[in-house]
Structure 1
């Protein structure tokens, strides 16, 4: 009897010990079974991200840092099993007159697009296009069909640069409350600009050039506007110029777009005319539906869904890249991405709609990390780019702060939004750390891009 009692006590202590260890298991607790990486059947929100890393300057714990630096060094030694291939040049597919001496910088920028390289970091032409987008006057306002949930301007600048522009609807520090759906709050002009800077800092180059400008609704917009747009301008009240515009919602008289008193900050994005097609990705592929969290077949379904719209061998890693980029900027509204029509369905992804990023500095959209967490594969160049930014003094937030100083409108991000960038980068690296373990080559993939 006494022996049975002692065994029962020991058994109970073992259960308590196991439960305690399970509560403290970290992201690296991946079960290996029959040569495959099997993740615990736990909800990603309550297991993986139940605690926020709180450290000075949003840094990783020392042991994680050392492990990731070791992986970075190993990654660099593994480089170039596939040489980087820029792919076919777009210039060969554009009209012949675009090679004339009068070609404008924005046209040359498009000429320089390759199948696998949108634009190069060190290309001086990019800065010339940016300079002209900031300084050249608007010569034409083009009225297009009233699609989309937000109002957009379509401008032509003095050198013919086609522009898609979004006016400011909210003050910089106006963040949506937690209970508001993403479909109910305004897109943010500053998010379009900040997303472009973020893509350049991370050297992912997903986003076409975007700048911020001040626009005068009276002298620049009303004077050039076609009659259909002029009719939407409201009578001035106390010298404030407002208009309603046309869009599917929030463009009526209850939601006017107003200047201060007639000047308004606007994002100017380079419009790639007749070059972009949509590669539609269901929300389930991006890991935004709770029902898929427990699926063991998620990665297989991801590949199958991608294969329906793309023959590109690089597409799966592109989806991971896009999701990590959207997680860092806090954008849960990536319902599709773009591809260059002339290259078919095998080209560098283009992200041309970032208006709902940088919205909630206090909230991280963890669903977006699910393809990385579940499939545990990341492009080698992406891993190195993230680590290079992490290593810089001041981190991502200071790099972003320096980059945004070049804008005509500032500030574009609040301090909370800047600090959120570092916090999210740390969490991305935490997920990568958990995936790597001792299997660097199986997680960090060199596909030549």
Structure 2
């Protein structure tokens, strides 16, 4: 009898240990929004492929890093008429010819843009009207978003459109420590959207700038949940993982709060959430396999098709490197759509209705430090040495303008301009040349047919 008791106890202990191990893995690598999303599919990579302790070997050697930097510094780019025409076209899309259009009609137009491969059409002639409506439409309701780690406010705008508002947390010249640290940067979200337009990466939902009056546009229409987080007439702290009264957001002296407004995707779309193959461990001294294995892309290709999925991820890595975003741990695709674009978005989870209610762009960790260019963001490109010719061609066009001038030109009429400091604008140019240098390195080592494989 005693032997049976010991056997049962041992088996029970093993089961508990295994359960704890699985729970630790999911909690550690998942974020707070994905834990409560039963309507999406979460693909979990084997544990052995995710992290390795105390590894000092680098998948990309210091010599390669140095060669890419040298190539970038020596690069000469010439402005073409094609580049100027492209910039003129993108600027014209921001023009607003009418301001008295019924907002509900504007939201219908924006929702009609969404397809399996894009959420913004190649010729978005009414983009300016959509952005203008996002920035001025009357707010009928304001609520907290109880999911995620960052302070966000859900707004209902006239015409029946729900949007997400991310408030300003830092001054433009604030330097964020770490490659994925700090609070979300609203200005980075706005600029990232327009950089994605310049690169023709049309899977980023629309985002605009906005200034909200904290009393008439927030507090007066706030739900009890949001109202309870107001400390006084000027400050509130919301409800999120890192939200607290000691980290409240306050309006300026005129009573306004600036931020970014994100047009949420229609709730009818069913999404599948996938762990990014090049996900970081977010732990000091613990490396992901991709950080130490130069052949990591071969392992990814056994699970992920080159076209379109892996090429989408490589396009996304180029955008992330340009904006300095090293926090891409998950991505979304349209469920049951084989050729779905990789969507760089996040979720808002409604605890009361027990469903995902909306989806939004998530480039909040961009433009943290203009003097630091984290090349590991480009590992998908450097390790695979595959990329779309169209992406490289487009980057060559805008890099020659240069990219910083293109961003300034597109956003010069924005109500919150300047959105970036001179240093952050210069960083865009440095990074654009380094991406092109990385492509040249791949061409030299792998050849044209491999790099631009069909």
TM-score of the two chains, using structure 2 as the length reference: 0.71
Residues 293 and 141 (structure 1 numbering): CA distance in 2 closer, same or farther, change over 3 Å? closer
**Shift of residue 232, structure 1, vs aligned partner:** 1.1
Q: Does structure 2 conserve the Cα–Cα contact (< 8 Å) formed by 1:60 and 1:426?
A: no
Worse overlay, 109-118 or 357-366: 109-118
Structure 1 gap ranges (5+) = 1-40, 70-100
**Shift of residue 182, structure 1, vs aligned partner:** 2.5
**Shift of residue 382, structure 1, vs aligned partner:** 0.8
**Shift of residue 187, structure 1, vs aligned partner:** 0.8
2:163 match: 163
1:228 match: 225
CA distance in 2, matches of 1:149, 1:285: 18
2:13 match: none
Worse overlay, 420-429 or 437-446: 437-446
2:123 match: 122
Superposed CA RMSD? 2.8
Structure 1 residues 67-126: Cα deviation after superposition (integer angstroms, max 9, x where no partner): xx9xxxxxxxxxxxxxxxxxxxxxxxxxxxxxxx99622222222322223322322132
Match of 1:61 among 56, 70, 75: 75
1:94 match: none
Structure 1 residues 270-290: Cα deviation after superposition (integer angstroms, max 9, x where no partner): 011323625322454679946
Structure 2 gap ranges (5+) = 1-56, 81-101, 345-360
CA distance in 1, matches of 2:304, 2:441: 25
Q: Does structure 2 conserve the Cα–Cα contact (< 8 Å) formed by 1:162 and 1:273?
A: no
CA distance in 2, matches of 1:435, 1:186: 35
Match of 2:408 among 401, 419, 424: 401
CA distance in 2, matches of 1:340, 1:247: 27
CA distance in 2, matches of 1:154, 1:418: 30
CA distance in 2, matches of 1:337, 1:403: 27
Q: Does structure 2 conserve the Cα–Cα contact (< 8 Å) formed by 1:285 and 1:302?
A: no
1:440 match: 448
Q: Secondary structure at the match of 1:104?
A: helix
Q: Secondary structure at the match of 1:213?
A: strand
Q: Which has the higher contact order (CA 8 A, sep 6+)?
A: 2
Match of 1:377 among 363, 386, 400: 386
Residues 235 and 169 (structure 1 numbering): CA distance in 2 closer, same or farther, change over 3 Å? same
**Shift of residue 51, structure 1, vs aligned partner:** 6.7
TM-score of the two chains, using structure 1 as the length reference: 0.72
- Pick the structure with greater CA Rg: 1
**Shift of residue 313, structure 1, vs aligned partner:** 3.5
Structure 1 residues 300-332: Cα deviation after superposition (integer angstroms, max 9, x where no partner): 22123436xxxx841011111111110110001
CA distance in 2, matches of 1:106, 1:373: 40
CA distance in 1, matches of 2:405, 2:108: 33
1:242 match: 235
Q: Secondary structure at the match of 2:115?
A: coil
Q: Does structure 1 conserve the Cα–Cα contact (< 8 Å) formed by 2:103 and 2:137?
A: no
Match of 2:208 among 199, 207, 211: 211
1:270 is aligned to 2:276? no
Q: How many residues align?
A: 353
CA distance in 2, matches of 1:260, 1:294: 47
Worse overlay, 208-217 or 279-288: 279-288
Match of 2:275 among 281, 289, 299: 281
Q: Does structure 2 conserve the Cα–Cα contact (< 8 Å) formed by 1:190 and 1:267?
A: yes
1:44 is aligned to 2:60? yes
CA distance in 2, matches of 1:326, 1:181: 12
Q: Does structure 2 conserve the Cα–Cα contact (< 8 Å) formed by 1:212 and 1:268?
A: yes
